[in-house]
């Protein structure tokens, strides 16, 4: 088994990028499309087929957005918008000056139309979502797909599609009202954790534990407490305080840990939480997009007062726009196989749709941006020490943060 490693940010930044396969792989989707007809459909190849359809699903959504925003076309198609970035990633448009121009194959008699194959893939994913939600045994999707859904092998992905289809309501300059309860997003996080991140998290905490005594941990926006569970099961010396804003989610998590004397769940905002305790490890897993820039500045000031000397902050988060860093990291980690590159390729594209969603839905304040995040950290006396992928797709990352000057401890 490959040894677990987290790579210092400085090493990633110094690594030379040779060929950026991840940025420019236009023929890849065609190749995967053909492959699915000639190789047996194993779980992995079916997942790849799913991701191929996912990109077409997003393309159809983009065309619907353009059709619905004809009057705001000028603003929609400026090249520095989240929407334009998504169009470029999906290879649907070209950037010319400060605008993006949709490829002519999508424009027909002043209408915007997807290609036939793209529409079929979109409709298939809509059926998958319907089966996932209603368990309708008559759904026309084939038994193998039904089995995958029943066995929860596509949970996170289908929930993501179920979320992103709401981008069809996108209106320039407006927020979309979230169609889901808060616990829906928290539940999606739970699926992602169980399917992808759990083992990496356990490994990362073990790595930190080699140099830092971990006794007292704070989990901010702890949701249903998956990370707390993994921490306490694997580390009998650790006590954890979970802070959760949402009353229903907090109540459910409190109930889950009611017999565990090492876990305290507090239903409060982190901004109102004060403690005399110092924490050796502070977790921020998929929570930063709930805060504005100014709130994050306040947050890190607050965390500085609660972090023990030599303590660590561990963030788990996804970002679009960090392809170069992913290329460097994957080459340092020896993740250079074709299958790995394909997985990263799909995850990259999908992250742009997630960025658009996080900047558009009313429950989130703004999508995370890696460069801005680094600026906030350095303004508050922190810096990134090490990074590693939090899942095999390089979708999310664990980012280990220390006070400046404390990295050698």
Ligand X SMILES: C[S@@+](CC[C@H](N)C(=O)[O-])C[C@H]1O[C@@H](n2cnc3c(N)ncnc32)[C@H](O)[C@@H]1O
Q: Name the DSSP letter for residue 195.
A: I
281, β-bridge pairs: 217, 312
Q: Measured between alpha carbons, how far is 85 from 100 in angstroms, rounded to an integer? A: 9
Out of 279, 290, 345, 346, point to the residue binding ligand X (CB under 6 A). Answer: 290
CB of 245 to ligand X, least distance (A): 4
Q: Measured between alpha carbons, how far is 25 from 323 in angstroms, rounded to an integer? A: 13
Question: SS3 of 275, please?
Answer: coil
Closer CB to ligand X, residue 77 or residue 240? 240
Start-to-end Cα distance in the chain: 28
Closer CB to ligand X, residue 52 or residue 241? 241
Q: Does residue 186 bind ligand X (CB under 6 A)?
A: yes
Q: Does residue 182 bind ligand X (CB under 6 A)?
A: yes
CB of 93 to ligand X, least distance (A): 31
Q: Does residue 241 bind ligand X (CB under 6 A)?
A: no
Question: SS3 of 259, please?
Answer: coil
Q: Measured between alpha carbons, how far is 162 from 159 in angstroms, rounded to an integer? A: 5
- Residues whose CB falls within 8 Å of the CB of residue 117, separated by 6 or more in sequence, listed in order: 33, 56
CB of 181 to ligand X, least distance (A): 10
- Residues whose CB falls within 8 Å of the CB of residue 183, separated by 6 or more in sequence, listed in order: 246, 248, 249, 252
Q: Does residue 245 bind ligand X (CB under 6 A)?
A: yes
Cβ proximity of 125 and 154 under 8 Å: no
Q: Does residue 269 bind ligand X (CB under 6 A)?
A: yes
Q: Does residue 189 bind ligand X (CB under 6 A)?
A: yes
Total residues contacting ligand X by CB under 6 A comes to: 23
Q: Does residue 222 bind ligand X (CB under 6 A)?
A: yes
Out of 50, 54, 193, 346, point to the residue binding ligand X (CB under 6 A). Answer: 193
Cβ proximity of 398 and 347 under 8 Å: no
CB of 186 to ligand X, least distance (A): 4
Closer CB to ligand X, residue 54 or residue 291? 291
| Choices 60-68, 78-86, 187-195, 375-383; region in contact with ligand X by CB under 6 A | 187-195
Out of 226, 320, 355, 360, point to the residue binding ligand X (CB under 6 A). Answer: 226
Out of 244, 280, 343, 391, point to the residue binding ligand X (CB under 6 A). Answer: 244
Q: Does residue 270 bind ligand X (CB under 6 A)?
A: yes
Closer CB to ligand X, residue 73 or residue 301? 301
Q: Does residue 218 bind ligand X (CB under 6 A)?
A: no
Q: Measured between alpha carbons, how far is 307 from 194 in angstroms, rounded to an integer? A: 28
Closer CB to ligand X, residue 12 or residue 314? 314
Q: Does residue 253 bind ligand X (CB under 6 A)?
A: no
Question: SS3 of 346, please?
Answer: helix
Out of 240, 287, 315, 329, point to the residue binding ligand X (CB under 6 A). Answer: 287
Out of 285, 348, 355, 360, point to the residue binding ligand X (CB under 6 A). Answer: 285
Residue 276 CB: number of other CB atoms within 10 A?
A: 5
DSSP for 357-397?
A: HHHHBTT-S----HHHHHHHHHHTTEEEEEEEESSTTS-EE
Q: Given the rule CB under 6 A, which residues bind ligand X?
A: 182, 185-186, 189-190, 193, 220-223, 226, 243-246, 249, 269-271, 285-287, 290
């Amino acid at each position: 088994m490959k040894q677990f490693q987290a790579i210092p940010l400085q090493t990633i930044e110094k690594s030379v990028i040779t060929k950026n396969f991840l940025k420019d792989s236009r023929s890849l989707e065609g190749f995967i499309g053909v492959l699915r007809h000639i190789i047996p459909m194993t779980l992995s190849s079916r997942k790849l087929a799913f991701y191929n359809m996912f990109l077409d699903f997003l393309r159809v959504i983009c065309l619907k957005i353009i059709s619905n925003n004809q009057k705001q076309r000028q603003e929609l198609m400026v090249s520095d918008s989240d929407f334009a970035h998504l169009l470029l990633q999906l290879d649907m448009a070209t950037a010319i000056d400060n605008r993006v121009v949709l490829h002519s194959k999508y424009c027909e008699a002043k209408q915007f139309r997807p290609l036939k194959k793209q529409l079929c893939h979109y409709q298939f994913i809509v059926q998958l979502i319907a089966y996932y939600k209603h368990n309708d045994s008559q759904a026309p999707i084939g038994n193998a797909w039904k089995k995958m859904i029943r066995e929860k092998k596509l949970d996170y992905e289908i929930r993501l599609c179920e979320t992103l289809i709401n981008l069809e309501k996108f209106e320039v300059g407006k927020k979309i009202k979230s169609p889901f309860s808060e616990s829906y997003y928290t539940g999606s996080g739970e699926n992602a954790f169980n399917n992808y991140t759990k083992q990496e998290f356990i490994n990362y905490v073990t790595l930190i534990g080699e140099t830092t005594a971990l006794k007292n941990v704070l989990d901010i926006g702890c949701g249903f407490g998956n990370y707390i569970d993994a921490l306490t099961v694997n580390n009998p010396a650790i006590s954890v305080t979970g802070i959760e804003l949402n009353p229903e989610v907090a109540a459910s998590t409190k109930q889950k840990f009611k017999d565990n004397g090492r876990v305290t769940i507090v239903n409060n905002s982190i901004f109102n939480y004060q403690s005399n305790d110092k924490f050796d490890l502070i977790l921020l897993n998929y929570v930063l997009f709930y805060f504005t820039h100014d709130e994050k500045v306040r947050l890190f000031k607050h965390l500085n007062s609660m972090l023990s000397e030599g303590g660590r902050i561990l963030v788990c988060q996804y970002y679009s726009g960090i392809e170069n860093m992913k290329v460097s990291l994957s080459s340092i980690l020896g993740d250079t196989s074709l299958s790995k590159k394909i997985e990263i390729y799909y995850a990259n594209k999908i992250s742009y749709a997630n960025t658009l969603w996080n900047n558009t839905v009313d429950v989130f304040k703004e999508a995370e941006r890696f460069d801005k995040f680094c600026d906030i950290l350095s303004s508050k006396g922190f810096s990134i020490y090490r990074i590693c992928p939090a899942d095999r797709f390089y979708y999310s990352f664990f980012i280990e943060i220390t006070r400046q000057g404390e990295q050698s401890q």
